[in-house]
Amino acid sequence: MLKKILFMVLFLAFAGIVLAEDVLVEAVVSPDKISIKESAQLTVTVHGGGKGENAPQLPHIDGLDARYLGPSTSISIINGQYSSERSFIYNLFPVKTGRFQVPPLTVTVEGKDYTTKPADLEVVAGNIDRNDTSSSAPSENLKDRLFMVLAIPKTKVYVGEKVPVSVKLMVAQVPLHNIQFPKIDKNGFVMDDFSQPRQYTQAVNGTKYNVIDFSTYLYPVAAGALTVGPVQIEGSLLYRNPQQQRRNPSGGSFFNDDFFNGFFDSYQEKPITASSETLKLEVMPLPEEGRPTGFSGAVGQLDFDASISPAEVRVGDPVTLRMKVSGSANFRSIQVPVFSDSHFKTYDPQVKNEGNALTLEQVIIPTDVNIVAVPALYFNYFDPISGEYKTLTQGPFNLKVTAPQPGQEFKVVGFSELQAPAAPVDYVQKYIKQPFDRSVAVLKTPRFWMKVGIFIVIWGLWMAWRRFRARLASDKSFARRVNALKHAKRGLAQAERALNSSDAKDFYGILYKTLNSYVRDKGLKEESIPGLKAIYEAGEFVRFAGARPDPSQMRSHLEQARQIVK
């Protein structure tokens, strides 16, 4: 009996060891060698165990960015034997070349910790041959191929001065898209909106960069030390996914074809934010010495112009006084001088901000025949180039004023003319001068029935149009089918313009978008499949591999696209 008990104890202990050993946790990086343009996949798999395990936390790995995609569970029962696997999947995006290691990761399964072995990843520059196991590639950092430059022409400025700001996004052979406008915290200054960017190429240390150049102006609001930046630009990077398996067509839909699965799934996006360095500015206050009376705070290089019209009026007649300030300044803070004089009756001016100029129109009315001129007008501003205050003068303006005529009417010169409303029309007297007693006769005339027929036709067409518009609004698939040809023709016209400008990347991008939308909405004939695949394959090489096709080949693909749309 004692032997049986001892045997059972040993058996249960051995079974416990077997059950404990049935849980296996491993980490695999695949592929283990990629280009900096590609991404790898880290899979942490738990073989056996329960359902309560959580995804392990990845530590920071210098040179790699990681994004958790989610878990995956598989269960199998073979010959009565139950087994399960639970995987935690991560994408690894390289930011520089080199050899990297995912450190051991710990996963808790049913209260017990299991640790994986380290996993290695090699990142090389340029394209790689999957059959080549060599790793002699030059070092390369993504930050060397994607960075920002914040530039301001000088470091000492005055309060309120208009300061040019340039933000350049430098991109070298990096598939970047969905680029947003720059963002910056405005602390201590106000800023105009960024203008539409200029795009050009520039060589830096022997490397050719595509430059996206944003520009604007800032205006310091207080004296002292001012920090500008960092400026941030958000976008998306395209990474090639070498792990994506292309499926063979299994019949049915055309889009089950392995080419389309590869084209649409072999690239993935990773949001990225590029940041600039900060710049330090010394903001100087406007000097007290020489500040003129009536200075309103205008800072810049400015011109001032003024005029009146007409120059000959009677007492009580209006005169329009026009003033204009133009040049380089912050016109949102400039005040144009408003005319005031005891010999004139004045009205509130109309002020317009025209971007690089400020205009004012003001009505003034002379009240005395002894007036011979409109007094001179003065505009004061501070010039940050010379560091001095300047005063611009316009006038006086000669004005001849005569006595008013009896019963003279008031009029406004320089504004929209207001006409007195016309006397109301007495439609009863105009159209109904006698009782209408010819109704029976009108019903018998062909002209009457022709008008009725035209009205019915117009009403029917209007009702049909309303039903058509209602269906367009409610049935999205119908609307896409109706508009597919129109949108396709518009896209093909844009593609031809890109072809004429020799922009191969833009050309194939437009063709892809146009044909994809058209096929989705209208379908595709079987005989058009080879031509569509040829266009997509060429576009993939141009857009993502940097190929440069022959113009004749691009023209041929455009004609194939037109045949597909036909």
Beta bridge partners of 87: 45, 72
pLDDT at 9: 44
Q: What distance lies between CA 534 and its chain's CA centroid?
A: 31
Q: Give the sign of the dihedral formed by CA 194, CA 199, CA 200, CA 203.
A: positive
Alpha-helical segments (H) within 22-88: none
What class is the 142-283 domain? mainly beta
**pTM over the 0.75 mark:** no
Low-confidence ranges of the chain (pLDDT < 70): 1-21, 49-52, 74-83, 129-140, 240-267, 406-444, 476-477, 543-547
Backbone angles phi, psi at 57, to 5 degrees: -85, 125
Domain 23-124: which CATH number of 2.60.40.740, 3.40.50.12160, 3.40.50.2300, 2.60.120.460: 2.60.40.740
Contact 395, 377 (CB under 8 A): yes
**DSSP structural state of residue 376:** P
pLDDT at 48: 74
Q: How far apart are CA 357 and CA 351, in angstroms?
A: 11
List the structure tokens of 380. Answer: 């004061």
3-state helix, strand, coil in the chain (%, to 5): 25, 35, 35
What class is the 297-402 domain? mainly beta
List the structure tokens of 494. Answer: 């844009």
pLDDT at 224: 94
pLDDT at 248: 41
Other Cβ atoms less than 10 A from the Cβ of 400: the count is 14
pLDDT at 71: 82
List the structure tokens of 147. Answer: 């960075």
pLDDT at 259: 42
**DSSP structural state of residue 389:** E
Classify burial at 437, counting beta carbons within 10 Å of its beta carbon; exposed 0-12, middle 13-18, buried 19 or more: exposed
Q: How far apart are CA 51 and CA 59, in angstroms?
A: 24
pLDDT at 216: 95
